[in-house]
Amino acid sequence: MAYEQILFETKESVAWIRLNRPEKLNALTHQLAAEALDAIDVCTKEPEIRCLVVTGEGRGFCAGQDLTEFQRDGLENLSVAEHLRSSYNRLIQALVDLPKPVVAGVNGVAAGAGASLAAACDIRIASETASFVQAFVKIGLVPDSGGTWLLPRIVGFATALELSITGRKVDASEAHRIGLVNGVVPADGFAEEVEARARSLAQLPTRAIGATKRIMAEALGLSLPETLEREAVLQQEMAGSDDFREGVTAFTEKREPRFTGR
């Protein structure tokens, strides 16, 4: 697929999806979501890719749904549900399901579905210039693109509800304090820092990371006995991996492991 609204490249086992509509703070369109989905599919299938970074070009991360598309399509006849089902819902699910670590490099404002997009990533690293706005309420909508599921799991129910019903903007330092981001990095050198962190994630046992993502998401809806059984099944799978053998061998040989993601 030819990409027009994202940039997609792979460098040293790390794939980068750069949302590329900087003049609109990378507001989402149907096309952008389709391109990002296609790129995520490449990340799923390509074994050499062992980490994905999602970030934005220009001064924004992602300003949510492009509101001029709403205007263009006529506010009276919008099929919002169908659009979500065929587009952003699939994008969010694909990020959550990707069996590899996903880093959001939140370089600027993340608003509406753009904030949900960041929330769907496994690790969020914010530039000190980043901010988060649950912008939905400001235009009379409910949070979507997984926002009502993801945000309370990240910051807790009370904070998620407060941010969602007020639409209050959260700056990078508050985002860090409430656990919405894992770290804040100076704007100067932000891309380099994100790259360094992504590269080290790409050196880890990728299969175990994919399985950890899966079981931790599942466990939120399971009982303890069900979870213990799932852990036993997944652990058996991991025990058959090259990375498990390498991890144990490296430990006994008192050296750093060289994981391959297999």
Residues that bind ligand T3D (CB under 6 A): 24-25, 27, 63-68, 80, 83-84, 109, 111-113, 133, 135-136, 138-139, 141, 144
Q: Contact 151/163 with Cβ under 8 angstroms?
A: yes
Cross-strand pairs, 8: 17
Task: Please identify, using beta-carbon distances, which residue of 169 and 230 lies nearer to ligand T3D.
Answer: 169
Task: Please identify, using beta-carbon distances, which residue of 149 and 244 lies nearer to ligand T3D.
Answer: 149
Closest distance between ligand T3D and the C-beta of residue 17, in Å? 18
Which segments of the chain are extended strands (E)?
Answer: 6-11, 14-19, 51-56, 60-62, 102-106, 109-111, 123-127, 131-133, 170-171, 183-185
Task: Please identify, using beta-carbon distances, which residue of 56 and 101 lies nearer to ligand T3D.
Answer: 56
Closest distance between ligand T3D and the C-beta of residue 26, in Å? 9
Closest distance between ligand T3D and the C-beta of residue 4, in Å? 17
Rounded distance between C-alpha atoms, residue 145 and residue 238, angstroms: 31
Task: Please identify, using beta-carbon distances, which residue of 11 and 168 lies nearer to ligand T3D.
Answer: 168
Token pair of 207 as six digits: 């299969």
Which segments of 58-215 are extended strands (E)?
Answer: 60-62, 102-106, 109-111, 123-127, 131-133, 170-171, 183-185
Closest distance between ligand T3D and the C-beta of residue 241, in Å? 39
Closest distance between ligand T3D and the C-beta of residue 136, in Å? 5
How many contiguous H segments (helices) and E segments (strands) does the chain have?
12, 10
Task: Please identify, using beta-carbon distances, which residue of 29 and 227 lies nearer to ligand T3D.
Answer: 29
Closest distance between ligand T3D and the C-beta of residue 119, in Å? 12
Closest distance between ligand T3D and the C-beta of residue 1, in Å? 21
Which amino acid appears at position 99 of this protein? P
Task: Please identify, using beta-carbon distances, which residue of 113 and 175 lies nearer to ligand T3D.
Answer: 113
Cross-strand pairs, 106: 126
Q: How many C-beta atoms lie closer than 10 Å to residue 226's C-beta?
A: 12
Task: Please identify, using beta-carbon distances, which residue of 111 and 185 lies nearer to ligand T3D.
Answer: 111
Which region, left, alpha or beta, applies to residue 8 given φ > 0 means left and ψ of -120 to 50 means alpha? beta
Token pair of 136 as six digits: 């939905």
